[in-house]
Chains A and B, each alone.
Chain A
Amino acid sequence: MSDNKLVVGVFAIVLCISHNAFADAEKGRAVFAQCAGCHMVGEGAQARFGPALNNMVGQPAAGVAGYDYSQAFKQLSKDGLVWSDAELDAFLKAPMQYASGTKMAYPGLSAEEDRKNVIAYLATFTATDQPAEQVVDRKETENTIEQSNQSRPLARDAILPEHGVLHLGRIALPEEIAAWDIDVRPDGMGLPEGSGSVETGGELYDAQCAVCHGVFGEGEGRWPILAGGHDTLEDERPEKTIGSYWPYLSTVYDYVHRAMPFGNARSLSHDDVYAITAYLLYLNDIVDEDFQLSRSNFLSVRLPNEDNFYFDDRENEENYVLSAEPCMTDCIEGQARVTRRARVLDVTPDGD
């Protein structure tokens, strides 16, 4: 465990020295840490799970000798693909879409800056003028430890915390707790100061939510339906929306704040979240269009389905627990007859 820290320490020094000259590439080095499990770079780099990545720009696809590429990349090579900054960027954004069937089981770097930096980092490896970078080379790690033994702090000088039973961890600071403790409960615990109107919420919703949830909260495709569905819970196809199903409004505030918009979580201000919550109430016909939601009136809003939830009572079901030995012979009269078949629906995905 401490070995890792030492290696990081050594890297950190290198990083400080060269930071100004290779700002992007150095950030790219950090990004590359997640690639280094499979790819080597620098002198002496060899194939691991993935090919070595020296001299990438200008190199034809599937161009590293001795690496057994996927059919996908063999085909791209036949098609004449030559790596450029732009092609690398497109590939790294969504590898499995770019080269369907690639062995690189990696979802992609969604941040453009990360992609630019890691491409800049790769550009620093032009064959022979770089030392080998073997992030998990055992020998190098061992050498590092030997050399740095002199500067290791002595174990007896470590400061033991006073708290707790085993004296592990440290006291969390109030700013740290405030940064992470964002949960909201039905009794209002956790609600921040703020407010927002249906009108503002509508603008935010149209811009940030409607693409998935639909303009009226009806849900696009398989995305969740947020509005409507009143009196459908006993139907063959119930619609479980905020208005028809969710028991507490605090859940809406908490969830929108912690996880929405999908792919850009924690980007909404408290006022934004109050406004969107107000608009969702409006879409569900629970408030009027001139409604303004705030911390002070939050608890006055109740959702219609709150009383229809009750604690798990499966244990009271008939035959949930055996009262006698189960039947073993001649339990049902007559032969079994098929009443429904899966293949009639034919929704099983094909094997691949």
Chain B
Amino acid sequence: MFKNGTDNRRAFLKKSLAIGGAAGTTMLASGAGADTPDPLITEIQDWNRYLGEGVDSRPYGMPSPFEGDVVRRDVAWLTADAKASVNFTPLHKLEGIITPNGLCFERHHGGIAQISPEDHRIMINGLVDNPLVFTMEDLKRFPRHSEFYFLECAANTGMEWRGAQLNGCQFTHGMVHNVMYTGVKLKDLLAEAGVKPSGKWVLPEGADASHMTRSIPMEKALEDCMVAFAMNGEALRAEQGYPVRLVVPGWEGNMWVKWLRRLEVGDQPWHHREETSKYTDLLGDGRSRRFTWTMDVKSVITSPSPQAPINHGRGRTVITGLAWSGFGKIDRVDVSIDGGRNWHTARLDGPSLSKSLHRFYHEFDWDGSELFLQSRAIDEQRHVQKTKNALRKIRGENSIYHNNAIQTWHVKPDGLVENVEIS
């Protein structure tokens, strides 16, 4: 693949690792023909001769050491303390629609609580016939269900409201992940306690030091919310709320209370901190929307992108990305390589599930000239992504939350990619 064989390849890998695959890699033309035989082919390599590790060398398997740069990353200046902070999913390195558990972005308000499942209790109280307490064992005796859902922080892409700011889809769009949750339906738990007719709202509460709370309307609680104890087939990761979290499909991630310990039924919303001072959308006129729960239709090209430049020169080029909507399935994604002048309907690949990430591809022959890459998703209810300027015209620049605008990547003639805004 690389013209000058081993040394160049190793130097390239080393360099890529050192700079996280971002700018700085030299363009390596492929397909130009080999002048000398490739020693990777003509010489016997260590791994061709010597034995590798045996079974059980890692009782819990880990990624290949060559994937060491595929990690969550934070933006240190965003928050005051790592225990009330966020990091980002490396979307530019992922394939398909499933996010590996160890790469799902994290958001904590009081650090990662470590709770033994034997010490965990879940209470239902408030406007119910019987206030109840469940152990984790009790919980697993309700009918179990498995569903794929994306979880997106309402502030995903929030740093981009005032202009292009962060160079990498990990940072601009990485507060999203998509896993298969296994758990029980919230409506089954509520039925066990018996909701009184006056019960119109549910308040989930976490057991961690932030005691996270949000008000959820009963209609949503009964529609599709889950109380989940597993993700992608194994127990929840501690940083995702082990032993149990709430799943609120299609709605902003802050509502998916982790380390869930209590569900209170009430007749009114609680207007707690995370639904008043935070997660309300300040508009240009100084007034604010509250209860903006649904995550809008959205898409982003994950490669090429600033952390995933084009290293192969002109010729066959693959554009890929992710699309999702809190309203249901993605109907289609259009891709533009000229900054929205002309659009091509992309190829959706893999499972198309409601409120789950969708993978799209657009393959084309690049002539080596500069590109302005954009993607535009449309969901099954005909919601569509707007340009950043169109969204700012309606909402101003101070919303922080719910920025689902069309993202532009500028591919330069050397294959490097930059986050830009265009006319």
> Which residues of A are interface residues toward B (Cβ below 8 A)?
1-2, 4-5, 8, 33-34, 48-49, 107, 163-166, 168-172, 176-177, 180-187, 189, 212, 221-223, 233-234, 236, 238, 240, 242, 245-248, 250-251, 254-255, 258-259, 262-263, 265-266, 308-314, 317-322, 326-332, 334-343, 345, 347-352
Known contacts being A328-B342, A347-B77, A348-B171, is A240 close to B209, with CB within 8 Å?
no
Q: For the complex, is B164 an interface residue (Cβ under 8 Å from A)?
A: yes
Known contacts being A33-B116, A168-B138, A250-B271, is A351 close to B69, with CB within 8 Å?
yes
CB of A323 to closest CB in B, whole Å: 9
Complex formed: what's the CA distance from A335 to B383 in Å?
27
Known contacts being A314-B292, A339-B421, is A258 close to B211, with CB within 8 Å?
yes
Q: Do residues B340 and A319 form an inter-chain contact, with CB atoms below 8 A?
A: no
Q: Do residues B420 and A351 form an inter-chain contact, with CB atoms below 8 A?
A: no
Specify which chain B residues have a CB less than 8 angstroms from the CB of A171 in the assembled complex. 130-133
Q: Do residues A343 and B418 form an inter-chain contact, with CB atoms below 8 A?
A: yes
Given A165, A308, A327, A351, which contacts B288 in the complex, CB threshold below 8 Å? A308
**What are the nearest 5 A-B pairs in CB distance?**
A351-B20, A336-B339, A342-B419, A222-B80, A233-B286
CB-nearest residue of chain B to A308: B287
Known contacts being A164-B132, A265-B211, is A183 close to B205, with CB within 8 Å?
yes
- 13 sample A-B contacts, Cβ–Cβ < 8 Å, listed by A number: A2-B137, A34-B114, A164-B132, A168-B141, A176-B123, A238-B282, A254-B273, A259-B110, A314-B402, A326-B378, A329-B342, A329-B343, A352-B73
Complex formed: what's the CA distance from A33 to B402 in Å?
41
Q: For the complex, is B259 an interface residue (Cβ under 8 Å from A)?
A: no
Known contacts being A222-B80, A310-B289, A351-B18, is A248 close to B271, with CB within 8 Å?
yes
Specify which chain A residues have a CB less than 8 angstroms from the CB of B285 in the assembled complex. 234
Among the 9-residue stretches B35-43, B44-52, B218-226, B261-269, the one with 4 or more Cβ atoms under 8 Å from chain A is B261-269
Mask, B268-299, CB within 8 Å of A = 1, is: 10111100110010101111111111101000
CB-nearest residue of chain A to B74: A349
Known contacts being A168-B141, A259-B209, is A177 close to B123, with CB within 8 Å?
yes
Q: Do residues A322 and B384 form an inter-chain contact, with CB atoms below 8 A?
A: yes
Specify which chain B residues have a CB less than 8 angstroms from the CB of A313 in the assembled complex. 289
Contact-size category for B: 35 or more
Specify which chain B residues have a CB less than 8 angstroms from the CB of A334 in the assembled complex. 423
Known contacts being A168-B138, A311-B289, is A340 close to B421, with CB within 8 Å?
yes
Q: Do residues A338 and B131 form an inter-chain contact, with CB atoms below 8 A?
A: no
Given A172, A240, A246, which contacts B133 in the complex, CB threshold below 8 Å? A172
Mask, B385-399, CB within 8 Å of A = 1, is: 010001000100110
CB of B113 to closest CB in A, whole Å: 10
Among the 9-residue stretches B191-199, B316-324, B358-366, the one with 4 or more Cβ atoms under 8 Å from chain A is B191-199
Complex formed: what's the CA distance from A170 to B135 in Å?
9
User: Within B404-423, which residues are at the interface with A (CB < 8 Å)?
Assistant: 408, 410, 418-423
Given B134, B268, B410, which contacts A185 in the complex, CB threshold below 8 Å? B268
Q: Do residues A342 and B271 form an inter-chain contact, with CB atoms below 8 A?
A: no
> Which residues of B are interface residues toward A (Cβ below 8 A)?
18-22, 58-60, 69, 73-81, 83-84, 109-112, 114, 116, 118, 123-126, 129-135, 137-138, 140-142, 163-168, 171, 188, 191-194, 203, 205, 209-211, 213, 261-262, 264, 266, 268, 270-273, 276-277, 280, 282, 284-294, 296, 306-307, 334, 338-343, 372, 376, 378, 381-384, 386, 390, 394, 397-398, 402, 408, 410, 418-423
Known contacts being A164-B132, A170-B132, A262-B81, is A312 close to B292, with CB within 8 Å?
yes
Specify which chain B residues have a CB less than 8 angstroms from the CB of A172 in the assembled complex. 123-125, 131-133
Q: Do residues A312 and B290 form an inter-chain contact, with CB atoms below 8 A?
A: yes
Specify which chain B residues have a CB less than 8 angstroms from the CB of A182 in the assembled complex. 211
Complex formed: what's the CA distance from A326 to B390 in Å?
14
Specify which chain A residues have a CB less than 8 angstroms from the CB of B397 in the assembled complex. 236
Told that A233-B282, A327-B343 touch, could you supply 10 new A-B pairs with CB distance under 8 A?
A: A48-B59, A170-B133, A172-B125, A177-B125, A238-B286, A255-B273, A262-B81, A312-B289, A312-B290, A332-B341
Complex formed: what's the CA distance from A240 to B420 in Å?
29
Q: Do residues B84 and A262 form an inter-chain contact, with CB atoms below 8 A?
A: yes
CB-nearest residue of chain A to B213: A183
Specify which chain B residues have a CB less than 8 angstroms from the CB of A107 in the assembled complex. 83, 111-112
Q: Do residues A165 and B418 form an inter-chain contact, with CB atoms below 8 A?
A: no
Complex formed: what's the CA distance from A48 to B137 in Å?
28
CB of A97 to closest CB in B, whole Å: 10
Specify which chain B residues have a CB less than 8 angstroms from the CB of A332 in the assembled complex. 339-341
Known contacts being A181-B264, A183-B205, A342-B166, is A351 close to B19, with CB within 8 Å?
yes
CB-nearest residue of chain B to A317: B394
CB-nearest residue of chain B to A247: B276
CB of A210 to closest CB in B, whole Å: 14
Q: Do residues A4 and B133 form an inter-chain contact, with CB atoms below 8 A?
A: no
Known contacts being A186-B271, A212-B80, A326-B376, is A311 close to B339, with CB within 8 Å?
no
Complex formed: what's the CA distance from A265 to B113 in Å?
13
Specify which chain B residues have a CB less than 8 angstroms from the CB of A48 in the assembled complex. 59
CB of A157 to closest CB in B, whole Å: 17
CB of B230 to closest CB in A, whole Å: 13
Complex formed: what's the CA distance from A235 to B380 in Å?
37
Q: Do residues A251 and B410 form an inter-chain contact, with CB atoms below 8 A?
A: no
CB of A348 to closest CB in B, whole Å: 4
Specify which chain B residues have a CB less than 8 angstroms from the CB of A337 in the assembled complex. 422-423
Known contacts being A314-B296, A338-B420, is A165 close to B192, with CB within 8 Å?
yes
CB of B165 to closest CB in A, whole Å: 5
CB of B288 to closest CB in A, whole Å: 5
Q: Do residues B140 and A1 form an inter-chain contact, with CB atoms below 8 A?
A: yes
Known contacts being A248-B276, A255-B273, is A165 close to B209, with CB within 8 Å?
no
CB-nearest residue of chain B to A226: B277
Given A177, A183, A245, A319, which contacts B384 in the complex, CB threshold below 8 Å? A319
Complex formed: what's the CA distance from A341 to B126 in Å?
52
Complex formed: what's the CA distance from A138 to B194 in Å?
41
Specify which chain B residues have a CB less than 8 angstroms from the CB of A163 in the assembled complex. 129-130, 132, 192
Specify which chain A residues have a CB less than 8 angstroms from the CB of B384 in the assembled complex. 319, 321-322, 326
Known contacts being A169-B192, A212-B80, A342-B418, is A326 close to B164, with CB within 8 Å?
no
Known contacts being A107-B111, A259-B209, is A331 close to B132, with CB within 8 Å?
no
Known contacts being A170-B132, A347-B165, is A341 close to B342, with CB within 8 Å?
no
Complex formed: what's the CA distance from A322 to B118 in Å?
50
Q: Do residues B277 and A240 form an inter-chain contact, with CB atoms below 8 A?
A: yes
Q: Do residues A341 and B270 form an inter-chain contact, with CB atoms below 8 A?
A: no
